[in-house]
Amino acid sequence: MTLRLGTRRSALALAQSQQVADALAAASGQAVELVPIVSEGDVSRASLSQLGGRGVFATTLREALLAGRCDLLVHSLKDLPTAQPPQLVIAATPAREDARDVVITRDGTPLGDLAEGAVVGTGSPRRIAQVRRRNPRVSVQDLRGNVDSRLARVRDGELDAVILAAAGLSRLGGDLGGLHAEPLGLADWPTAPGQGALAVETTADADAALLAALSSLDDAATRTAVTAERAVLAGLDAGCSAPVGTHAEVTDGDLRVRAIVYALDGARRVGLDRTVRLELPPPDQRGYGGYPGSGDGADAADGADPIARATRTGHDIARRLLERGAADLVPRESTP
């Protein structure tokens, strides 16, 4: 039997889906074919800020999966609403690529040094706010389109710079055609929850052999990190396009999370950094609540489950951000 993998039609979506298809074919011993599907987000020319967090890049694909027109889907995780439909499961999150944003220019001028009136293209409210904080002298122009068309607008002089995801450029081969890339550090410029990661989704009642094959593609550290990032977004009750930057990583048993909520105009921000221990230490080394230094007795209920720990951490960060004033900055919109 040939497995049918549903994907968006863009060059980037096809490239990353083919990577998953090849890995799944090797794990399952079955052929995997791509099934291109046009999503609402691909058809609409509206600004990302207007489209909001309604899952415009995922809904049509999910409908095809539930209708039996494909067996699994590959999404860019940052495009998925945080609420998971009960009929579907994210069966694998492969190892994440570079989560950073990059600034693309003709001559390598850093974003902070671009001259007054320089035009920077991006359609992301988060990136718009970050650009305005980094360099208030520039003008920001709303931007849609695929990676090649965005690069062409810089190359042709229509734009002085664009902001793109490093992972997308890498998956397309990394050829900038003579343009220059400035990677933006995640400490000062956290990106969208889940950026750089893929989500492989199938039905909750999928064949056990398919679920087992997909589980072999899952990267535990990536799943834990993106779970924390998406829990922050869910706790803020904000959509996928909200001006929220968050990045988490697992290092030596610690989960480190940085989250920042921006005002849409970039004038204000509220941020929080937190590091928690994922691995449960021996009983004689545990603090109150089960973890060293923990003051939250409920943490003990997480046991040794890193996903539960990541979820709790993300929700707690969101609560603290709201208490510190983030509620006045982020557009609230319960995502479906």
Q: Mean pLDDT across the stretch 48-57?
A: 57
Q: pLDDT-based confidence at 295, cuts 50/70/90?
A: very low
| 72 and 210, same domain (yes or no) | yes
**Domain assignment of residue 334, yes or no:** no
**Is residue 79 annotated as a catalytic residue, yes or no?**
yes
Q: Identify whether residues 261 and 307 lie together within a single domain.
A: yes
Pairwise pLDDT comparison (41 vs 201), residue with the higher score: 201
pLDDT at residue number 333: 55
125 shares a domain with 77: no
Residues 209 and 267 in one domain: no
Q: What is the mean pLDDT of residues 280-292?
A: 44
CA nearest to 224, candidates 291, 314, 319: 314
Residues 320 and 239 in one domain: yes
Q: How many domains does the structure of the chain reveal?
A: 3
- Domain containing 241 equals 227-328
Do 88 and 125 lie in one domain? The reply is no
Look at residue 314 and tell me if it is in a domain.
Answer: yes
Q: Which residue has the tokens 């694998």?
A: 92
Q: What CATH number does the domain containing 71 carry? A: 3.40.190.10
In this structure, what token pair is assigned to residue 34?
Answer: 């791509």
Q: Which of 71, 79, 299, 302 is catalytic?
A: 79
Average pLDDT of the residues of the chain = 88
Whether 238 and 311 map to the same domain: the answer is: yes
Instruction: Give the whole-number percent of the chain exceeding pLDDT 70.
Output: 85
pLDDT at 47: 53
